[in-house]
Structures are given as C-alpha cells and as structure tokens.
Structure 1
Amino acid sequence: MRELKKNIFRVLIIALVVLVSSCKEQANNVQAEEALQNGQEHPSLILTKKGVKAIRLQLGKLPIFDKSLAAVKAEIDAEITTGIDVPIPKDLSGGYTHEKHKKNFLVLQKAGVLFQILEDEKYAVYVRDMLMAYAKLYPTLPVHPQTRSYARGKLFWQCLNDSNWLVYTSQAYDCIYNWLKEEERATLENDLFIPFANFISEGNPQFFNRVHNHSTWGNVAVGMIALVMDNDELLQKALYGLKTDNLTEGMKDNDGGFIKVEGQKVGFLANVEEPFSPDGYYTEGPYYQRYAMYPFLIFAEALNNVKPELKIFEYKEGVLLKAVDALINLSDKDGEFFPLNDGQKGMSYYSRELVTAVDIAYHFGGNNPELLSIAQKQDRVLLDDAGLSVAMGIKEGKAMPFAKKSIEFRDGPNGDQGAVGILRQGDLELVFKYAAQGLSHGHYDKLSFSLYEDGYEVIQDYGLARFVNIEQKGGGNYLKENKTWAKQTIAHNTVTQNETSHFKGKYEIGSKHHSEKYIFSSDNDTVQVASAKELNAYPGTGLHRTMALIHDQDYDNPYILDVMKVTSKTANQYDVPFYYLGQLMQTNFEYQALKEPVPLGANNGYQHLYKEALGVAKEGNAKFNWLLNNKFYSITSVTSNGDELILARIGANDPEYNLRREPTFIIRKKNAKDVVFVSIIESHGNYSPVSEFAINAYSQIKNIEVVYDDANYTAIQIETEKGKKSLFVVSNTNNIKTENHKLTINNKDVVWSGPYCLKLLN
C-alpha cells in the first residue's frame, strides 16, 4: 500500500512538472503568437528561427563556430558579472563615457545572440535590463556637450556613433523581442527606439540625407530598428531618405560633404548606387569601405531575410558582394588595407567588420571557397546563419586560397571616374591611384603610388593624420595636420607644381574632376603596365604617368619603371618625392647637410617638411640606395644639370609631435615647362645580421636614358649591370590595343602593336 502511494505521488509530481512546462511553453507561444499577429517573426535580422535550430543541432561539431561561441560566452559572462553601467555622456572618442557606450552596444548584440543559441534567460534579462536603463536615460538627454561635430549625437559626440549604437542594439532587441512582455516592448519603443530613430533622421537631416559613410550608418540604424518593429514609415526613410521640401538644397557641412542637392538621390539605396563602382570599389577608399561594409551587409542580410522581394543582393548587379572581393584585393600580403585617402595603417581584414563581410558574402554570394581561406585566417565566425554556413564549409574541407592578382578597380557609380590599379608579381605590390576625389575623405594626390614587398611598405602613402580613439591626441579624432599635411599633394608620391596642391587643395574643385585611365595591362608576366592622365590638377598643365612592373629573367625580383610626363603652357617648378622607409645607405651624388634643418616651404604641406640636405644633379643618373627590413632598395633617376636633389623629413612646424618623423627623397626641376621624370625602383638584395653578409647590395641598373620624347611617344632605354639593353616605348596619344606603331629611334625602326612595348636591344 505504501509503495502504491509512492508511485501515485511520483505520477502526480511528473504530471505537475509537465503541466508547469506546458504552461510556460503556452506562455511563450502566446507571446510569439502576439508577435506573429503583428506581422513579426523573431529573430529575423541576422539570425532566423530556422537558422537558430540549425545552429543548436551543430553545437559541438564545428570547431571554428564552437571556438567563436566560447569566446563570446566568456566575454559576456564576465560583463554580466561586472554589472550594467549607462553613464551620462560627456567625452569625445577615447574617453570613458564614449568607450563605455560603445562597449555596451557590442555587448548587447552578443548577449542577444547567446540567448537565442543557448536558451539561457540570463542573457535576455541582461539585454532587457540594459535597454531599460537606456530607455530611462535617453529622454533626459540633451545633445552631446562636445560641440566638434556637424551633427552632434546624444549618447556620443556625433550622430555617427549614435547610429553605430542603434545598428547593433537593434539586433539585440530582435533576439529578445518574443521573450519580452508587451508592455516592456512598448516602453522600449516609445521611450527609446522611436525617438532615437527620429533624432538620427528628422533631427539631423544634414547627417542623414547624404551620400557618405556617415549617412549609410544613419540609414541602416533607422532601417534595422524599423524591421524589428515592423515600422514601414521608418523603413521608407531608411531606404529612400527624408523628403527635402523643408531642407536647404546644397547646404554644406563642416566635414566637407553635402546634404541632398537637386536631383541627387539619398537614403540607403542611393548610398549603394553612388559611392560604389560596378567593380565594388568604394570611392572613399578601403579604410572607409571596411568601416561601411558592416552596415551595408548587415542591413542587406536583414532585408534579405525580412523583405526578400527587394532582392537586395542583386541590387546594382550584386555590387555589395563584389565589394567584399574588392576589399580583400585592396589589402597587402598580410591583409592590411592600402591607406588610400584617409586611412589608418594597420587596419585589416581581421577587423570585426570584415569577419561580418566575409561570412555574409560567402553565405549569400554563392559559397565562394576562396572566402573560406580568409575566414580561416580570421579564426572566428559570426554566431548566426552566415557564420554557420562558413563553419560548415571549412569543416567540409572546401576552403581554397584567395588568389590575389594584378587588378584594376574602376571608380565612380558607372565606373568612368578613373581607377586604382594594383600590379603584383612575386612579393611586390605596386598600388597606383588615378581615381576620383573620394568625397570628404579624399586626398589631393592624383597619379600617386605606393610600393609594398612581402607585406611591408617600401615607398609609403602617409595615410591619415589621426590616432583613432586615442584620447590624448585630439580626443581620438582627425588632427589639424590631416588637412595641413596628409591631404596635401606634397605628402604623396606624385608631382607638385609650384608648391601648390592639386586643385588648390579645395574640395569644391577636386570633387568635380577625376583622372583618366589610359592603360591597364597585366596579362604578360614580363611586363605589366598601368598608365593614367590628369588634366585638371593644375590649369594649363597635363600630367601623364606610366608605371611598368618589369621582370628581367636575369634577376630575382622585378623592377618598377616610372615615367611621369608633364606638359604645361608655362614654366614652373616641379617636385616629385619618394617617401621611402628605412635607412639611407649611399647616393652617387654629393649633397650638403644643413647645419640646422629648415622648413621646405611655407604652406600646402611644405611647412611640415624639414629640408635636411641638398644636392645638385648633373646630366645622367642619380642613384639613391637604402636598407629596409634587411633588404636593399635603389632608385635610379634620369636627371638634368641643375636639378635639385633634396633629402627631407616630415615633422616641421609640428610642436605636438602629431606627425611621424619619416624621410623622403625629392627631385626638383625649376623653371621648366615640359619635362619627363623617369625613375627605376628596385628591390635587389639582402643583409643577414647573423652571418653579417650583404648580398646584392647595389643596384642592378647601370643606366637609364630618355632616347625619344614628343607629344606622341616617349621611349626609355634601360641598361643593366650585365650589359642587357632594353627599350620601353609608350604611345602618349593612342591607347588602342590593336593599333600598329612605327618609330625611328637612333636611326633604327621600332615596330610594335598596342599602346606600349618592351623590346630587347641586344
């Protein structure tokens, strides 16, 4: 009898547990049903209900996914232990309140994802409680007390960072939406999310209604929260921008950009159409392309999941997916992006934005196996549907190396505003810029170049003058030297006329013009050529630069032939610098070191260069030899009598040490009308500090000479130390690939087809 009672009791207990579980499940189902009745299904932005189920089934089976999940879990568990802090905003970038609010939005997004995957309510509670803290704080906030930005935020000193916050936080809200009570959702939306979205958009049209990476973040922030709340009014603003009847057309902001002008589209779709070329190149440059790819692709993923009828990944012939491949190709051997325009050196495809970009591009772009090799290097994946897809591809052994080759990326919405050409062979990478201005982040450096070997800068582009998010340096924002130095023409490896920057250093002029592609040819391993013209940098002056990567089989490394042809209606002073990195070894010309370095000029960037030494060239060749990373390099340049050879260094008129003290070698021609600057740049040897042997420490070039030059053709004769003579000829006016040419040089006929030729003479 006693045993029977025990059994009955056990049955009752089991029945009670089942009943409680059933009630809890029914409650959850009621909440989910409420959401569905409102046209919602959650999660739906980056995670989907189907994706969550698939992820749970694969837990413990996919090493890279499990590793990523464990790292995020450890991070968020530690944050939960620390507690919630939502401080009153007061700081610029790098300050405590700025960094705390930034960390909060990153943590919120991750905690929301953990709740969905692990089904542990502590993460939902954490997200809810922090969002409620923000909902209590936000209505009390005025605009941010720091006044530096053209569009001040509330949580941050600029609306850009407020938009970052909402993009990430929208994802967290999506993950706990069904778990929240209806009254909690009402509080969050009415006190926080809707006012937040309205402030970013209607409250800051000069920020929201632009074609710029700033407005992309703003558009996406409003669009993401609109998708969570199923708010079509906000979604329309995000996609198409604000109505501009009450806005000042053509009003300029102090960041160098413009709000909507007559006939210009705005909104997210316009920000896909305008800055991207058909090749996926983003006109602001790879640093800001990397930054913008997160909102572009996160919103595209969300739109694809919630509004598949928009076919967003097919928009502009799939340009958002092309842009991921473009970005990877715009990086060096180590994955660091070339610092074109405003760009911080060291930014790479290991950034969180590119983890997102690679995973989404793989998942939605046809499962390109080359992207899996980049994901393997990144060693982490997104904790969502796209990350699961990548993790499964890696486990199944589908990864293939991402093959970087010589490539040209057109600039401009239609691909007709110049380009960036990258010539690669072996460990050498030559980056040649002949693009458009690059919006407000552009530099005045038409036809500039930089050179890399084995992932190291050899001849550098300075990049931006900024210490991003380091409070000690201007609150982590752009320094004044970005305008007085980094953007100026003399800061780059291109020609400067009369110590004046291209387009007078004025955005309004530079934004109207772009260089013109002339030649890009990379099919021949012996010689690859990129050539472009710039006819508007200086009134009455035309610039035509041709760069060739030439592989002589007698030598280990290819060399670069650089031909800059300048034609002008007047006599001018021309400067061509080479911003080499490393230690000067030797020159074949005499120079006199100044007892005390003096500024090279008074303005346009010249005020930031110390002239340290001066030489005067003779007719023939000037050689400049240096050592970098235990490798030897040389520049051999054609010179005329009286050319000045200047050794200079960055850092003049820089009392706060905002600039890097790096060297340059400048060739200056005075009182000249039409000139041709010709140089060969070589990597030719190495030094071992262990054996203390220097191998091939000297240039392999014996002589270079301009043997023909007129309006139609320029011919350069190259003689190596082994006695081999070659002739490189470029047609200056006819770039048709099938055109036949005949030219008589030194009483000998040279015949070829196409816009250039390289011929062995002996």
Structure 2
Amino acid sequence: MKFKNYSLIIILLVCLNFISCNEQTANTNKTEQVVVGSEHPKLILTKTGVDNIRKLLGTIPIFDASLQVTKEEVDAEIALGIDIPIPKDFSGGYTHEKHKSNFLILQKAGVLYQILDDEKYAKFVKDMLMQYEAIYKSLPVHPQTRSYARGKLFWQCLNDSNWLVYVSQAYDCIYNYLSKEERDLLENNLFRPFADYISIENPQFYNRVHNHSTWGNSAVGMIALVMDDDDLLQRALYGIKDVGLDPEAKDNDGGFIKDKDGRAGFLANLEEPFSPDGYYTEGPYYQRYAMYPFLIFAEALHNVKPELKIFEHKNGVLLKAVDALLQLSDADGDFFPLNDGQKGMSYFTSAMVSTVNIGYYFGSQNPGLLSIAKKQGQVMLDDSGLAVAIGIKEGKAKPFEKKSVNLTDGPDGKQGGVGVLRHQGLEVVFKYAAQGLSHGHYDKLSFSLYENGDEVIQDYGLARFVNIEQKGGGNYLKENTTWAKQTIAHNTLTLNATSHFEGKYEIGSKHHSNLYFFNFDNPKIQIASAKENNAYPGTEMHRTMAIIKDDNFEKPFVLDIMKIQSNTNNQYDMPYYFLGQVIETNFKYNVTSTLNALGIKNGYQHLYVEGVGQAPEENTKFLWLDKGRFYSLTSVSTPSDELFFTRIGANDPEFNLRREAALMTRRKNTKNTIFVSVIEPHGSYSPVSELALNSKSNIAALKIVLDTEDYTALTITDVKDNTKLFVISNTNASKEAKHTLKINEKNYSWTGSYYYK
C-alpha cells in the first residue's frame, strides 16, 4: 500500500511537471509573441508612448480634449458606415473629398485603437482597408486628365501619396490585430502595388525635387517601414535609379527631375529645397504643406531607423525649418503669401499642429512652441503630442519670439533670401530669393507691409480657389499665370511692361538676387538691402528697405529706396498695392469714364485704369484709410512722372481675380534713376465716436540730396521742420567700413553700410 502511494505520488509529480512544462512553454511562446508584437506601433506612436499616454489619460487637459474631439469625429464616421466610391472628381468633388476624409479617419481610428484599446476602431480600419484592397487592382487611372501624373484614387499622384502617408500610420496601429493572412492580402494587393504605382509607374512625379515628390517619397517610405521592406525604403530615401529621365529636365510643373547620384528621393528633397536656415524655396505656403510628410516620415525614421540620425541631417535643417516657418507668419499666425500662397493659411492648420509638436519633441524643446500649441488648442495623439501637453500643463510655455530675421535661400544659402523686418507691430517682408521652383513668381526685390497682422501693402498671392470645385476643379486658374506670377502684380519694378526674366521659368530658375547687407543691431532701425542683376540684362536694381523708429513720428515708418542703373533708356513702372480707401492726394487726376486695360500682356491686361494724373515737381503724396488706421505714401517725384490709379479685374469674365487697387508711378525714357518713398502709418479713425486722430502725414518734404555710384543720400523733414539725413553706401556694405562724405558743404563721417541722424 505504501509502495502504491509512492507510485501514485510519483505519477502525480510527473504529471504536474508535465503540466508545468507545458505552461512554461505556453508562457514562453506568449512572451515571444509580445516581443514580436512590440514592434508595432512603431512609426509615430510607439509602444512606450502608448503606455505613457494610457497612464496619464485624464490628467493632461489639452491631450484629453484632443482625444475627445477625435473620438467623437471617428465615432460619427463609424455610425455612418464605410463608403469607397469609384473615383471621378477633381478637388472639391464628392469622390475626391470622400477618399480624403477616409484616409484622415483611418489614421485617427488606428490611433484610437492603440490609446483606448477598443477593438471597434481596429475592426473599422480593417474593414475599410479590405474594401480598398478589393477594388484597387481593378481601378483604372483616374478619369480626370489635367495632371502630369494621374493617380488612381485621386486626380493626381500627389493626393494618392497623401492617402498612403496617413494610411500607413493606420496600418501600423492595427498590424498586430490582423492575422498574417490578412496582412499578406493587404500588402500584396494594396500597399505594394500602391507604392509601385506612385513611384515606378510615375517617375516624372516621384523622381524630382518638389513638394509633390516629398509626399511620394514619404508615402513609400512610411509603408516600407511598416512592412520592413528595405527595397522600398531605399527607393523612398534615394529615388528610382536608371529611369531613363534627363537629370536636367523639368516637367510641366517646373520641378527638377533627378535620377542618379542620390539626387532624387527623400534625402535629395531634404538637401536641395531647404537653405541652411530652414527656408524652403517654394515659399511658406508650400513649406507648411510639405512639413507634414517631411517631419512625419522623419519621426518614423527616427523611431525605426535611428542609425540614420535623420534629425541631424544637414545640420538639423528640419528642426530649423520649424522656427523659420513660424517666423514667416504675421502677428495673427497667417503665413506671408510669397510665391504661390493662399492668403489666410496659418499655423492653425492641422499640418502645423504636427510641425509644432514634432519640432518641440525632437528639437530643443523651445517653450515658445508651447505657446503656439496652446493657441492651436490641440496636440497630436502620439509621443510628441504628449510631450507638448505635459509641457503646457507644467506651465513651461513662453511667448514665441517674432523678430527681424534674414533667411537665406538655396541649398548652400547663397541664392538670395527673404528678410522680415519687424518693429512695434510693423512687418516688412522683403523678397530677394531664388525662383522657388514651379511655384515661384517673377517678383525680384518685391515687398509687402503689415501692421498688427493686417496687410497694408499687399502681395496678391495665388489665383486659385483651393478645393472649390466650381472654380476650375479647385486647381490653379489660368490667371495664376497671366496675372499672379507676373511682375506687375507685385510691389516691385517692371521695365518696359515686361516681366522679370521675360516671365520664363527656364530663365528665372537660373538666377537669384543677391543680399547686399542686413543689419538688425540697432533696435530703432531694421534694414535690409539687395541687388538684382539678371531680371533685365544690362540693368541693375538695388533696393533697400528699412523700418525706422524716429521720436518725431507717432509710429515707425518704412523707407523704400530703389536705385536703377541701366545701359539703355527704359519705361519704369513702380506700383504700390494698397488696401483701403483713398482719402487725399496732393496731385490732380482725371477719373476715366471708360475702363480700359493698362496693356495687353504680362499682367497689364488685367489692370483697369481708373484714374490718371501727373506728379508734382518734388513729392507725390497719397493718403488712405484701412481698418481704422491712416497711411501716407510720400514719394520723390519728377514732373514727367505719370501716376495711375489701377484696379485688378480687366479681362476677367469669370471674376477669378479680386478687385483691388494700386497707385503706380510710371517714368518713361529714362536710363539711370532712383525711386524713393516713405510709407508712414499714423492716426486712427473710430466709426463709433466718428473721431479722426492724427489723420495727416507728418512729412513735409522728402528729398534726394546726393545720388552717385557710391552713395545715395536723402533728407526727411517733418511738419515741425526737424530734418534727418539718411545715407547708404552703394558699393561697400561692410560693417567696419569708415566713410566720410560732404553733402551741401557739410562733412559726415560714420562706420558701417548706412547713416541716419
């Protein structure tokens, strides 16, 4: 009996040991699955990030609020059901907008699945992706034929790339929710064919330097990282090799096509369009658009391929670009409409939420970025958004410093640039940049002026109603070429009614203006100066812009000097596109009874002539009112100068252009000359009290007292007979240079590129 009991015990122990071994094996397998599964999510959300977010939910107000808004939006879409329409529309049309909505919702639903651990979001993503998989291979090229690279879901490959950038994130979030068979189905029938189509099948879209290609490269790279496909990742980083395209060719959208020596792909798009200062050559409107794929792919690369050190590439240019872009916005956060830029686009757009979050998290954690995030009122639902939310909660936010900046253009910083002069609410945007690829305008040495976020002297921006289907399918209108890009549409000099570089991209893309100097050392004088030698062969234009705070004036004023040296006699046209209502002039003019266009081409065909006058002998004075503030333009003039009141809108039967006004000075049959003006903000008007304060200019006289090859000097005399002298050295911009100059029998000495006293 005793033996039997021992035998039973041994048998039981063996059985227990067997069971224990099986349990350990099962637990080991489970642990191995957790390790493998921990690889996802890995692009933007990470497993560690998800864990941290879950622990802090309910304690980080701006993050919690952002999460609630996203949840309500996605829940509403789930309730409506999935709709995958057959593509047929341009931007703004139903099918276009529905597929756009789908990719945004997919990304958000994937994030919600990770943060809330609610299977309904994963199922929603899976079901929608499976419906896309079911139709993708049978989809023809999009029926709309306008684009140089048609997509399948959208009318252009650009939007197809948008789709894949966002959907890659959704796929990453539900990767472990799917079975291997389901992943294989999606990858073989949807994601790889999709990536091949926008790249190999459309090299003219993919293999170039342009914001379009940045989206394409990032799309291929993002899905490559999810699928661990190194071949696709190499294609994303370095472009397609041996595609048979001329490396110096340009497609019909103006982007450079590159195909060898690493000159295509994401890294090439990181190298060439950005200057060392972080300025993006296409301008802030398209920099804002491109920053999302640049930064979101960079974050994914940082998380999955940290050995690439992507945020250190080109001396950290991507993180510098965050600050540069914010500096290119006015006091209200609206981006300056340089080149093709839609007015009203601001840092409140969703793309800038990610820009600010990623810039803060991976940068130096600038507390100024937290103040921008607070204004935006939302954060990304990821690791970077969590960091921003915590920073705000801990009271680390400080005002973002807007200051005078000079941002270089070109990959080496030697292709001109943009200067933003700031002082006491005034902002002068001075453009002396390169062409800006296909979105560039023919506007060398142009400028615009803002006060407290309001345009005073405007840049027109683009001619396009983005995503408004009734206006050309939401695409660029022909007036963008015939008007918005032309020189006369800008506040700069036009010679002989012909645009800079004859309005030809192949000429303009070869040249850029050159910085002469900038100086922001004196807080009372913010000044920049640049020269342009190629816009009109044989003619040099030299423009100097300054904001000057003089105690004899109520507010700072703007000094504008445009010096021209030419080999031939020319007709010079200098417009100022003011916003507001005419109050007073010191010259007589005749209002035209019949509206006629100023010319027949180069933008002149779109300008109505509303009034014509002759300039006074010494100064032309023009005063206008806008948004309760008065402005005066005082210009040095000659009796032969013609003055034109013009208004945009001629030869525009579909009313595609805004009906806005300008005062233009025309100087004929002149060789070397100079235009000098002062723009003076002053006073106020209240429609409530009906009281006008300080409604008149404080300038009694503006005179050129010396103009030689080496120096230009002028005097500004106010109504109380105080006179100040301004002198610029035209040939020596050194800060250390010592100058002595006799003007009206009086000697003046100074050190530096200019003198004001």
Q: TM-score, normalised by structure 2?
A: 0.95
Q: Please, which of 737, 740, 743 is the counterpart of residue 738 of structure 2?
A: 740
Q: Does the alignment pair 1:312 with 2:318?
A: no
Q: Please, which of 518, 521, 532 is the counterpart of residue 519 of structure 2?
A: 521
Shift of 1:296: 0.3
Q: Which amino acid aligns with 2:395?
A: G
Quote the residue 1:194 is aligned against: 192
| Structure-1 separation of matches of 2:638 and 2:166 | 60
| Structure-1 separation of matches of 2:673 and 2:552 | 31
Asked whether the 8 Å contact 1:31–1:181 carries over to 2, the reply is no
Q: Which amino acid aligns with 2:689?
A: S
Quote the residue 2:357 is aligned against: 359
Q: Please, which of 209, 218, 221 is the counterpart of residue 220 of structure 1?
A: 218
Q: Please, which of 587, 592, 595 is the counterpart of residue 594 of structure 1?
A: 592
Quote the residue 2:688 is aligned against: 690
Q: What's the CA shift string for 1:632-655, capped at 9, x where partnerless?
A: 001000000110010000000000
Shift in alpha-carbon separation, 1:141–1:88, aligned structure 2, 3 A: same
| Structure-2 separation of matches of 1:26 and 1:217 | 43
Secondary structure of the corresponding residue to residue 194 of structure 1: helix
Across the aligned residues of Structure 1 and Structure 2, the Cα RMSD in angstroms comes to 1.5
| Structure-2 separation of matches of 1:469 and 1:319 | 31
Asked whether the 8 Å contact 2:545–2:560 carries over to 1, the reply is yes
Q: What's the CA shift string for 1:729-755, capped at 9, x where partnerless?
A: 001111111001111111111111111
Q: What's the CA shift string for 1:5-45, capped at 9, x where partnerless?
A: xxxxxxxxxxxxxxxxx99x989958945956xxx810000
- Report matched runs for 1:659-670 at 5 Å: 659-670=657-668
Secondary structure of the corresponding residue to residue 683 of structure 2: strand
- Report matched runs for 1:313-332 at 5 Å: 313-332=311-330
- Report matched runs for 1:76-225 at 5 Å: 76-225=74-223
Q: Which amino acid aligns with 2:451?
A: E
| Structure-2 separation of matches of 1:736 and 1:263 | 39
Q: Please, which of 227, 230, 246 is the counterpart of residue 228 of structure 2?
A: 230
Q: TM-score, normalised by structure 1?
A: 0.95
Quote the residue 1:375 is aligned against: 373
Q: Which amino acid aligns with 1:484?
A: T
| Structure-1 separation of matches of 2:242 and 2:475 | 30
Asked whether the 8 Å contact 1:31–1:178 carries over to 2, the reply is no
Shift in alpha-carbon separation, 1:151–1:607, aligned structure 2, 3 A: same
Secondary structure of the corresponding residue to residue 208 of structure 2: coil
Q: Please, which of 287, 291, 294 is the counterpart of residue 296 of structure 1?
A: 294
Q: Please, which of 703, 707, 724 is the counterpart of residue 726 of structure 1?
A: 724
Q: Does the alignment pair 1:681 with 2:670?
A: no
Quote the residue 2:6 is aligned against: none
Identity %: 67
Shift of 1:264: 7.0
| Structure-2 separation of matches of 1:168 and 1:654 | 39
Shift of 1:581: 0.3
Shift of 1:721: 1.1
Q: Which amino acid aligns with 2:726?
A: F
| Structure-2 separation of matches of 1:350 and 1:590 | 45
| Structure-2 separation of matches of 1:682 and 1:264 | 51
Shift in alpha-carbon separation, 1:725–1:372, aligned structure 2, 3 A: same
Secondary structure of the corresponding residue to residue 566 of structure 1: strand
| Structure-2 separation of matches of 1:420 and 1:75 | 40
| Structure-2 separation of matches of 1:435 and 1:32 | 55
Q: Does the alignment pair 1:614 with 2:616?
A: no
Asked whether the 8 Å contact 2:240–2:259 carries over to 1, the reply is no
Shift of 1:722: 1.8
Shift in alpha-carbon separation, 1:363–1:137, aligned structure 2, 3 A: same
| Structure-2 separation of matches of 1:34 and 1:558 | 64
Asked whether the 8 Å contact 1:32–1:178 carries over to 2, the reply is no
Asked whether the 8 Å contact 1:297–1:357 carries over to 2, the reply is yes
| Structure-2 separation of matches of 1:305 and 1:235 | 14
Asked whether the 8 Å contact 2:578–2:663 carries over to 1, the reply is yes
Q: Which amino acid aligns with 2:98?
A: K
Unaligned runs of 5+ in 1: 1-21
Asked whether the 8 Å contact 2:239–2:259 carries over to 1, the reply is no
Q: Which amino acid aligns with 1:595?
A: S
| Structure-2 separation of matches of 1:47 and 1:526 | 47
Quote the residue 2:539 is aligned against: 541
Quote the residue 2:463 is aligned against: 465
Asked whether the 8 Å contact 1:52–1:116 carries over to 2, the reply is yes
Secondary structure of the corresponding residue to residue 140 of structure 1: coil
Unaligned runs of 5+ in 2: 1-22
Secondary structure of the corresponding residue to residue 311 of structure 2: helix
Asked whether the 8 Å contact 2:442–2:501 carries over to 1, the reply is yes
Secondary structure of the corresponding residue to residue 318 of structure 1: helix
Asked whether the 8 Å contact 2:207–2:259 carries over to 1, the reply is no
Q: What's the CA shift string for 1:323-348, capped at 9, x where partnerless?
A: 00111110000000000000000000
Shift of 1:617: 1.2
Secondary structure of the corresponding residue to residue 257 of structure 2: coil
Q: Does the alignment pair 1:54 with 2:49?
A: no
Quote the residue 1:650 is aligned against: 648
Shift of 1:367: 1.4
Asked whether the 8 Å contact 1:28–1:179 carries over to 2, the reply is no
- Report matched runs for 1:291-440 at 5 Å: 291-440=289-438
Q: Please, which of 61, 64, 67 is the counterpart of residue 65 of structure 2?
A: 67
| Structure-1 separation of matches of 2:259 and 2:521 | 43
| Structure-1 separation of matches of 2:122 and 2:139 | 26
Q: Which amino acid aligns with 1:253?
A: D
4+ residue segments displaced more than 2 Å: 25-36, 244-252, 261-264
Quick check: 748-757 or 242-251, which moved more? 242-251
Asked whether the 8 Å contact 2:636–2:675 carries over to 1, the reply is yes
Q: Which amino acid aligns with 2:48?
A: K
Asked whether the 8 Å contact 1:594–1:613 carries over to 2, the reply is yes
- Report matched runs for 1:1-40 at 5 Å: 29=30, 32=33, 35=36
Shift of 1:556: 2.5
Quote the residue 2:251 is aligned against: 253
Shift in alpha-carbon separation, 1:590–1:380, aligned structure 2, 3 A: same
Q: Which amino acid aligns with 1:375?
A: A
| Structure-1 separation of matches of 2:33 and 2:369 | 37
| Structure-2 separation of matches of 1:78 and 1:544 | 58
Quote the residue 1:559 is aligned against: 557
Q: Does the alignment pair 1:629 with 2:627?
A: yes
| Structure-2 separation of matches of 1:193 and 1:443 | 37
Secondary structure of the corresponding residue to residue 173 of structure 2: helix
Shift of 1:263: 5.8
Quote the residue 1:447 is aligned against: 445
Q: Which amino acid aligns with 2:116?
A: L
| Structure-2 separation of matches of 1:31 and 1:262 | 43
Shift of 1:246: 3.0
Shift in alpha-carbon separation, 1:264–1:386, aligned structure 2, 3 A: closer
| Structure-1 separation of matches of 2:121 and 2:213 | 31
Shift in alpha-carbon separation, 1:290–1:651, aligned structure 2, 3 A: same
Asked whether the 8 Å contact 2:711–2:730 carries over to 1, the reply is yes
| Structure-2 separation of matches of 1:737 and 1:478 | 45
Secondary structure of the corresponding residue to residue 512 of structure 1: coil
Q: Which amino acid aligns with 1:199?
A: Y
Shift of 1:258: 2.9
| Structure-2 separation of matches of 1:551 and 1:748 | 25
Asked whether the 8 Å contact 2:203–2:243 carries over to 1, the reply is no
| Structure-2 separation of matches of 1:91 and 1:27 | 53
